[in-house]
Chains A and B, each alone.
Chain A
Amino acid sequence: MKPLPPTLTVTAPPHAHCGKTVKGRMRAILIAMMPAALLAVHHFGMDALRVMCLGAAAAVVAEFLCDQIMERRSQVDDLHAFTVGLTFSFLLPASAPWWMVVFGSAVSIIMGKMIFGGLGGSPLCAPLVGWAVCSLSWPAHMDINASMLTSELNYPLSQLKHFGVEAIKGYDLDSLMVGRQLGGLGAVQTGALFIGGLFLAIRKHIKVGVSVGMLAGVLLTAGLFRMADPAQYASPMFHLLTGSVIFGAFFLATDPSSSPMRKIPAALFGLTAGVLVIIIRVYGVYPDGTPYAILLANLAAPLLDRIKPKPFGKKAAGRTLT
């Protein structure tokens, strides 16, 4: 008998691919978060590990249940839900009660992702949705100072807010960088997160424009305030290394679906978020403005996305797109 000719796979071009996949990107993001997670456990002990595990697990379970309800094949194995859960828990104080972690993480997935049809549909950064719901619903549990009274560390942003520049004299930038401060348990590990962010940027997993824009926005705005009155406003580097600015610039604002896609709009988006961070920190009621700054910038993203070059070979177009 003659052997059968081989059965070929027929697909659409391009037949080659750069090799990057959603799962691979999520894995890279998780690797980038690892140093910060380890430092968080070092500083806050098993409490931090408890919050991170609960957050990630709740997000995965919530997404799986949503997929069941929506009657579609679950893609929870792409690690996105896990990443969202871990990102959300990075923003919480280590003392967060278990029910709030579970609830917030589930809300991040349900209200921040699945309600918009799953990965890629959300106009808002998913973990920040959960964070916003929790911080409005249980301000006492989310209040970092009040809930971390037993810790020997302090919350520099709260001290700045309530006692002015004099109160933060004791902080040197090195100790801020290694995370010797209070705040979101992972988000304050600024040095570790910066290394992770650089790793993502070099591997081209995030839109670098967003991160650069946001860091520039924070530094410029804080610099302007500082120049106006050094006795009243903190230094730009202090703002950069406290709260969740670094975490926001590399891990939250770069969320693919809620940030603009082209380079210039992405940089403007980052800049908007960065400027808003300082404005909220200086004039707002929240010590750390990063989450709300990014959420507000998210709302402006579709508008910024309208800044686009004219297509190849087209004369300047004067029409509107919907």
Chain B
Amino acid sequence: MKLFESIVREGPLKVLPAPQVVRVPMSCHRPEVQCGQDVARGVHIGGGRYAPISGTITEVHPYYICITAGKEVQPVPKDLSGLRGDALRQVLGELGAKLPQGPTDTLIINGVDPEPGVTAFTHMLTEFGSVLSLGLETARKIYNPAKCVLAVEQGRPNSLNGCDPVHIKEGYPNGLNPLVVAAVTGKEAPEDTVVLSVGTLFELGRIMETGLPCVDVVLTANERNFVVTVGTPADTVLSEAGLSVRDGDTLVLGGHMRGEAAHSPQQGVDKNTYGLFVIRKGEYPAVIDAPCIGCGECIQVCPARIDPSTISGYAEFRMYEKCADHDIDACMECGMCGFFCISRRPLLQYIRLAKQHLAFAAQCELEPQREG
């Protein structure tokens, strides 16, 4: 796979019809619906997820909720007109769009495709101009920014009304939010800057259009882009894209660098899934439990300038405080370290594990300690 490829997709996006059965991915959330219950489209089913189609709940699984299409129930849209600022942000949050707090000075719209091989974001900029404009207008109402910037990859003519285009050097991971902010403002992690991806703008635009939670997602599969309903089983999209999975393959929801491996071809796509990839068995060397050999490849590619080899070593031996000493919090989870690790250590996984433990530890510290 090439990290530095620049692809342009032409032609209309293919809109897939809403499927008969959806599996809305959920994890670590308490479901708010029960098996057999009838739900209307847009109803909250738990964990910030909403029913993408009207129908009956047929399965409540720890990792997903399955809905079978039934009688079309007309959902009740929310009235969003006249809201501004934080009030609007909160209502949008109730409709599934979790946004950072405002107001802010600079609003950056990240239109760089998130990962190599994904072209959904650029394609959205050319095809969904009106929805994105509406989304941008909404974001402006929330953040009231003095300056609005659209970040696109070098050489792309894309624009969005009222945004100054800024060109980002092509190649992964230059399109990641923290790096885009640094490229636009010239400062690393500045305050008073909010980054929203084109995917988020699309969600905002759709919510404002309908007054309902956004149930569509744009994703890249087999070099084509599709608009699909959240929860659509991956194999439906795959067969539409002309891909198939065989025993031992890895089906990736998201991208090669940061995506999640599906446990089954039936797994539904999530609302932040921007790509669908099949990785053939044996295409890349398998991840193994090997020690670090200290070659330093990960350090030289790390955009956060931290030391993934040392951090992963500490995480391996559960010395998470040491990970914090080595600035694990600067990590932006791009996956470059694991991509270049010649020992094929699961570096990103170790880093995520350590981060999670540190977050838990911080939570425990916040609680008042009892005497004695």
- Smallest Cβ-Cβ distance to A320: which chain B residue: B325
Q: Are B260 and A309 in contact (CB under 8 A)?
A: no
Any chain A CB within 8 A of the CB of B348? Answer: yes
Which residues of chain B in 308-350 are interfacial with respect to chain A, using CB atoms and an 8 Å cutoff?
309, 325-327, 330, 332, 335-336, 338-344, 346, 348-349
For A8, the chain B residues whose CB sits under 8 A away are 245, 248-251, 261-265
Q: Are A257 and B294 in contact (CB under 8 A)?
A: yes
Q: Are B299 and A13 in contact (CB under 8 A)?
A: no
The distance in angstroms between the C-alpha atoms of A9 and B248, with both chains bound, is 5
Q: Knowing A8-B263, A321-B325 are in contact, say whether A18-B305 is a contact too (CB < 8 A).
A: no
The distance in angstroms between the C-alpha atoms of A21 and B295, with both chains bound, is 11
Q: Are B250 and A6 in contact (CB under 8 A)?
A: no
For B286, the chain A residues whose CB sits under 8 A away are 11
Q: Are B348 and A313 in contact (CB under 8 A)?
A: no
For A257, the chain B residues whose CB sits under 8 A away are 293-294
Q: Are A117 and B291 in contact (CB under 8 A)?
A: yes
Chain A, interface SS category: loop
Count residues on chain B whose CB falls below 8 Å from chain A CBs: 65
Q: Are A311 and B327 in contact (CB under 8 A)?
A: yes
- Smallest Cβ-Cβ distance to A206: which chain B residue: B295
Q: Are A16 and B245 in contact (CB under 8 A)?
A: no
The distance in angstroms between the C-alpha atoms of A257 and B292, with both chains bound, is 9
| B148-189 vs A, Cβ < 8 Å mask (1 yes, 0 no) | 000000000000000000000000000000100010000011
A314 in complex: contacting residue of B262, B307, B330, CB < 8 Å: B330
Which residues of chain A in 1-55 are interfacial with respect to chain B, using CB atoms and an 8 Å cutoff?
5-22, 24-25
Any chain B CB within 8 A of the CB of A120? Answer: yes
**Best-buried of A9, A10, A117, A322 by chain B (most CB within 10 Å):** A9
Any chain B CB within 8 A of the CB of A263? Answer: yes
Q: Are B264 and A13 in contact (CB under 8 A)?
A: no
Q: Are A256 and B295 in contact (CB under 8 A)?
A: yes
For B325, the chain A residues whose CB sits under 8 A away are 321-322
- Smallest Cβ-Cβ distance to B346: which chain A residue: A12
- Smallest Cβ-Cβ distance to B297: which chain A residue: A20
Any chain B CB within 8 A of the CB of A76? Answer: no
Count residues on chain A whose CB falls below 8 Å from chain B CBs: 44
The distance in angstroms between the C-alpha atoms of A258 and B251, with both chains bound, is 39
Whole-angstrom distance between the Cβ of A146 and the nearest chain B Cβ: 38
**Best-buried of A11, A313, A317 by chain B (most CB within 10 Å):** A313
A22 in complex: contacting residue of B252, B258, B266, B343, CB < 8 Å: B343
The distance in angstroms between the C-alpha atoms of A15 and B343, with both chains bound, is 15
For A15, the chain B residues whose CB sits under 8 A away are 250, 252, 256-257, 259, 261, 277, 279, 284
A261 in complex: contacting residue of B246, B279, B307, B332, CB < 8 Å: B307
A9 in complex: contacting residue of B182, B281, B303, B342, CB < 8 Å: B281
| 15 further interface pairs, Cβ-Cβ under 8 Å (given A14-B336, A20-B340, A256-B295) | A11-B346, A13-B335, A14-B338, A18-B340, A21-B342, A117-B291, A118-B291, A120-B343, A257-B293, A261-B295, A261-B300, A262-B300, A266-B296, A312-B332, A313-B304
Identify the A interface with B (CB < 8 A): 5-22, 24-25, 117-121, 207, 256-258, 260-263, 266, 308-314, 317, 321-322
